[in-house]
Each structure stands twice: as structure tokens, then as C-alpha cells.
């Protein structure tokens, strides 16, 4: 099956710093989504981005489908950005299953 | 526009009891998915349903687990004779019909945290 690898596994930032999270996947995809799981366990949709670039406030994401990777940029990080960031993909073939990476655990210190 | 609803949010069961987890999709969404998250791990796909149909249950354990999405009412994930290894967070997601733009984007509920004593 398709493999999803996220890096780095852990990240500690000072408030105000920028960061880049990476997601590599091993096969063609129909769907790629980025999520933030907050410290209370809730999953928040960040981006639906099977290809291209999107921006939402301090967050932006780029997926280069032909090279099988996606990047999530966090600028001017805040303590509320802490939590785990997951990348999940749906392999091409329209089977609708999302396959998840293990996440990047982010801690933003004041 | 209410999001995906799940209840209960927390469920405690003793070994051997049954657990029933409920999920109401977003309004207008016709596809429901169940995922399981063990501590410190990503989510794992369990089952994909449309109204009255199971489309893909390849991630569901063969025994004790079942899922349904009836014509009326929420989707139910049922775990019979629970064991300690069933303790996990169970998330439900929904997506819109295929004739809508990002038809395969999945939106998640808050999860049900099952603890088996």
C-alpha cells in the first residue's frame, strides 16, 4: 500500500518562529489533506491540497504531486499552534481511504 | 452549519460489554468513514459507508466489529465483547456527494474515546 512519511517527528519552536513540515508519499494520490490535532484531541482541517499551493492566514501549503511531496508552512508561530500535524492521502483509484502519516508533534513555547 | 457530530465523547466499558458509537454526518454529506487512533499514532481506516451500504470494510477487524449507516439516523460503529486492546479514540468523518467540488475532502468529528477496563 501507499506509504506516508512525515518529518520532522518532533519540533520545538519559540513563539514567532517559522517552520516547514514535510510529507512524502509513495504513490499517486487523488487527495491530500493536512490536519491539526490540538491538545484536546480534536482534528481540524487545515488544507485540502492534492496539488498546487494554498494559503490561509499564517499557514500555507504546497503539494508537488509529480514529485510526491507536500509542505506545510507555519509563519509567526503562536502557542495555540501546538499539537500534532498530520498529513493524510487517498491513493489514486478513488478508493476514498485516507492513509495517515505518524504526524509532526509541534510545541511552541512563549 | 453543524459539523460532524459524534456521541458519546467518552465511553467506559468493562471487558465483555458492548460499545456503540454514533456519528451524524455534516448536512448534505452522504459518505461516512470510521477511523481508529491508538495513542501516539496516526489514524487507521476502518470502514467506508454510504446510506444503507458498506462500500469498503477492509480496515475493520473480522470479528466483534460492525458498522451501519441506515436510511434514517446516524451511522453506528458497534464493538461486541470489548477487550482492553479496543481502547482508542474512534473518529468519524463525512464527505459530500460526488457531484460537488472537493467531493473527497473528509471532515472529522470530535471523536469518541473508548476506555475498556
Question: What string of DSSP letters covers A7-30?
Answer: E-SEEEEETT--EEEEEEESS-EE
Residues of B contacting chain A (CB within 8 angstroms): 31, 33, 35, 41-45, 48, 55-56, 58-59, 89, 91, 93, 95, 102, 104-108, 110-111, 113
Residue B51 has pLDDT above 70, yes or no: yes
Indicate the pLDDT class of residue A96, thresholds 50, 70 and 90: confident
Span B65-84, pLDDT tens digits: 999 999 989 999 999 999 99
SS (H, E, C) B49-116: EECCEEEECCCCCCCCEEEECCCCCCEEEEECCCCHHHCEEEEEEEECCCCCCCCCCCEECCCEEEEE
Indicate the pLDDT class of residue A105, thresholds 50, 70 and 90: very high
Interface test with B, best of A6, A40, A43, A102 (most B CBs within 10 A): A43
Name every chain B residue with its beta carbon within 8 A of the beta carbon of A41. 89, 110-111, 113
Q: Does A49 touch chain B (CB under 8 A)?
A: no
Mean pLDDT value across residues A100-107: 96
Smallest CA-to-CA distance from A61 within A9, A22, A89, A6 is with: A22
Give percent of chain B above pLDDT 70.
96
Nearest-Å Rg of the Cα atoms of chain A is 13
B49, B67 contact by CB (below 8 A): yes
Span A19-45, pLDDT tens digits: 999 999 999 998 999 999 998 899 999
State the Cα–Cα distance between residues B44 and A33, nearest whole angstrom.
15
Interface test with A, best of B42, B109, B110, B114 (most A CBs within 10 A): B42
A42·B111 Cβ contact <8 A: yes
Span B29-38, pLDDT tens digits: 889 999 999 9
* pLDDT for residue B42: 84
Amino acid at each position: 500500500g501507499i506509504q506516508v512519511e512525515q518529518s520532522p517527528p518532533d519540533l520545538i519552536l519559540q513563539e514567532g518562529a517559522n517552520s516547514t513540515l514535510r510529507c512524502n508519499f509513495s504513490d499517486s494520490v487523488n487527495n491530500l489533506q493536512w490536519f491539526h490535532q490540538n491538545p484536546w484531541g480534536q482534528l481540524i482541517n487545515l488544507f485540502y491540497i492534492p496539488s498546487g499551493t494554498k494559503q490561509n492566514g499564517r499557514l500555507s501549503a504546497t503539494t508537488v504531486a509529480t514529485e510526491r511531496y507536500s509542505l506545510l508552512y507555519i509563519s509567526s508561530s503562536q502557542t495555540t499552534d501546538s499539537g500534532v500535524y498530520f498529513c493524510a492521502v487517498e491513493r489514486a483509484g478513488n478508493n476514498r481511504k485516507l492513509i495517515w502519516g505518524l504526524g509532526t508533534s509541534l510545541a511552541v513555547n512563549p | 452549519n453543524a459539523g460532524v457530530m459524534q456521541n458519546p465523547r467518552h465511553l467506559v466499558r468493562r471487558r465483555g460489554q458492548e460499545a456503540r458509537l454514533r456519528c451524524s454526518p455534516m448536512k448534505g454529506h452522504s459518505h461516512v468513514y470510521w477511523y481508529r487512533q491508538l495513542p501516539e499514532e496516526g489514524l487507521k481506516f476502518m470502514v467506508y459507508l454510504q446510506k444503507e451500504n458498506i462500500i469498503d470494510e477492509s480496515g475493520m477487524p473480522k470479528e466483534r466489529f460492525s458498522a451501519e449507516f441506515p436510511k434514517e439516523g446516524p451511522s453506528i460503529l458497534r464493538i461486541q465483547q470489548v477487550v482492553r486492546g479496543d481502547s482508542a479514540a474512534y473518529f468519524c468523518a463525512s464527505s459530500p456527494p460526488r457531484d460537488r467540488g472537493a467531493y473527497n475532502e473528509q471532515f472529522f468529528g470530535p471523536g469518541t474515546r473508548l476506555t475498556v477496563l
